[in-house]
Chains A and B, each alone.
Chain A
């Protein structure tokens, strides 16, 4: 009798487990499905719009015809600009946290601040960029102001990856270099930085992927509604892909006629994000193999 009860209990508990795991699996595949629906929708609707002219012509006829070339160029410059700012500062900050700062309270404080910066909504960066760069420093609506604002956004990602990359380097490398008479700066420059580079670059690429898609920080610092020429200096406004998508999808003279442009823009944006992701993975794999073969 006792054995029978145990058997039915065992059967029941395994049944519940099967049910629970089935639900988890189903919901997980649901999430995968959501991603594919979003990507598929934009790729299918967008791929027919994108051709050479779309990529190389400025918009015409009140943004209902023509291409998105100025927006692509604008986004490219914003990515370059934010990288120029965020990369050196971020890497140096990460190095400071690992190699110089006394471990403990101070590093924890900096890490907390970095995490907080990462958690600030992008629109708040936009407000800050407008108040500080556009108005106070008087850069005006410009690529410079936009790049700096986006750079602040990318900073925590670069810092975090740099910190992690340096943390994983065994101490023996540092000691070896110092024992040979190298200074700390030389050790960092010649030994540690080359070793950490692959992961640092991966972090940079990922942060640039994020920068390329951000709209809120550039709304009031740089983005132009319609500017069918290329920017001439860093004090020029520019168009940008994400803002252009927002504009053609929500405002303008003829929303229906603008829809294909919107699909095309979304497609290009998605492709950039995909390329950045693949690139980051590629860089990581390439350097990992190289290190292994050494």
Chain B
């Protein structure tokens, strides 16, 4: 009996031991299945089709071209590789303007015929209509419906996930927004983080240390939404006044909030690294007549540089993944940022802001999971680098 329990206990412990590994695998599996679906989605909204006149020899259009056509930024077919003729955009709503209810039939049964009629009459027309209305019509051309290309997503410079007829999922604005904000956050946090960690590890006496440590811990414990709220209520108006901005919600506001949030990580890890510098090395340096400061920057810092870097890298990881605070203070404009004082938008903030409105299983929903996958891998790479560096350090000792 005793033995049976012992064996059962071992089994249970073993199973729970692998929980974290299983969870990570599950996260990868679930995120990937949703994200990969994006590349099987048609460029044009599901259930709709783009129809052209027979004389038009344009066969394929990219999502961006379709958007420009319907925004009337492209006004001539020459611009997308066709003949020289003006573009005429036709949407289903236009049908009611041209024809009376009687002509369309009370159940819209003649709508298909009328659409074909319209397209045949206008050589430059592009019509965005439900597939069911014009299915099997040979009098008109249908745009060949590609699936969303990987290239357009990964290198696309525009993010219009709700545009019709074809949503655009270029992730570059979001990726650059994330990197931009995190970069400035670390730039701000670095001097503070290094100074505090050196002060705690080398300069401060144990009494000051004991007082400072819980404060750093507390800084780590404050919920991100409270930081965001503080940023919104204090930092945003402050920036607006100092820089005379039209709106205070900007990349800089996000960077400042993120810098405060990344500080505890940087400080804790860097301080630990400096503390692990052997006493003998310090004493040797001091015995040679070096001052304490010379010892710090000639001996302690070079010795613990990989640990300090780990701290900074982990801080970057924290800044990249932070959601709520950034969502609240950066203004959320999905454009490639040119200045830190402009509103911008990060990957986590995009997921948080848009997932609620995206219908499950649609292209928009899947694109947000793709963003999740990208975020997941960025942080995974960052963490793995830190793990490898710290493992190598352990070997060295």
A residues with CB within 8 A of B: 13-14, 16-17, 20-21, 23-25, 27-28, 30-32, 34-35, 38, 41-42, 88-89, 92-93, 95-97, 99-101, 108-110, 112-117, 119-128, 130-132, 135-136, 152, 155-156, 159, 183-186, 188, 206, 209-210, 212-216, 219-220, 242-243, 245-246, 249-250, 259, 262, 266, 269-270, 273-274, 276-277, 281
CB atoms of A215 and B324 under 8 A apart: yes
CB atoms of B10 and A100 under 8 A apart: yes
Interface residue ranges of B179-197 to A (CB < 8 Å): 191-192, 195-196
Q: Judge whether B63 is part of the interface by a CB distance below 8 angstroms.
A: no
CB atoms of B225 and A34 under 8 A apart: no
User: Bound state CA distance, A245 and B225, in angstroms?
Assistant: 7
Q: A123-B372, A242-B226 are in contact. List 6 more A-B contacts (CB 8 A).
A: A28-B195, A31-B215, A93-B17, A100-B17, A246-B225, A250-B328
Highest count of chain B CB atoms <10 Å: which of A25, A30, A131 = A131
User: Bound state CA distance, A23 and B10, in angstroms?
Assistant: 55
- B199 contacts which of A24, A119, A132, A277 (Cβ < 8 Å)? A24
Give every chain B residue within 8 A of A95 (Cβ-Cβ): 13
Q: Judge whether B352 is part of the interface by a CB distance below 8 angstroms.
A: yes
User: Bound state CA distance, A181 and B321, in angstroms?
Assistant: 50
- B224 contacts which of A96, A119, A215 (Cβ < 8 Å)? A215
27 pairs of residues in contact across A and B, judged by CB atoms under 8 Å: A17-B294, A28-B212, A35-B219, A38-B222, A89-B16, A92-B16, A97-B17, A100-B14, A108-B391, A116-B24, A120-B24, A121-B322, A121-B323, A126-B355, A127-B355, A128-B372, A131-B34, A132-B30, A185-B5, A185-B10, A206-B221, A209-B221, A213-B224, A219-B355, A242-B226, A249-B232, A269-B226
Closest CB in chain A relative to B155 CB, distance in Å = 23
CB atoms of B214 and A277 under 8 A apart: yes
Give every chain A residue within 8 A of B20 (Cβ-Cβ): 93, 110, 113-114, 117, 155-156, 159
Q: Judge whether B253 is part of the interface by a CB distance below 8 angstroms.
A: no
CB atoms of B221 and A16 under 8 A apart: no
User: Bound state CA distance, A125 and B191, in angstroms?
Assistant: 31
Closest CB in chain B relative to A18 CB, distance in Å = 9
**5 interchain residue pairs of minimum CB distance:** A213-B223, A121-B321, A96-B17, A17-B293, A27-B195
Give every chain B residue within 8 A of A216 (Cβ-Cβ): 224, 323-324, 348, 352
CB atoms of B369 and A23 under 8 A apart: no
Q: Judge whether B284 is part of the interface by a CB distance below 8 angstroms.
A: no
Q: Judge whether B299 is part of the interface by a CB distance below 8 angstroms.
A: no
Chain B residue at minimal CB-CB distance from A259: B233
CB atoms of A215 and B225 under 8 A apart: yes
CB atoms of A110 and B18 under 8 A apart: yes
Contact A20 to B212, CB < 8 A, known contacts A95-B13, A99-B13, A213-B224: no
- B27 contacts which of A30, A120, A245 (Cβ < 8 Å)? A120
Decide if the interface of chain A is mainly helix, strand, loop or mixed.
helix
Give every chain A residue within 8 A of B21 (Cβ-Cβ): 109-110, 113
Chain B residue at minimal CB-CB distance from A132: B30
Give every chain A residue within 8 A of B212 (Cβ-Cβ): 28, 32
CB atoms of B19 and A28 under 8 A apart: no
Q: Judge whether B234 is part of the interface by a CB distance below 8 angstroms.
A: yes
CB atoms of B3 and A183 under 8 A apart: yes
Give every chain A residue within 8 A of B6 (Cβ-Cβ): 183-186
User: Bound state CA distance, A216 and B356, in angstroms?
Assistant: 12
User: Bound state CA distance, A265 and B375, in angstroms?
Assistant: 30
- B293 contacts which of A16, A123, A214, A269 (Cβ < 8 Å)? A16
CB atoms of B199 and A25 under 8 A apart: yes
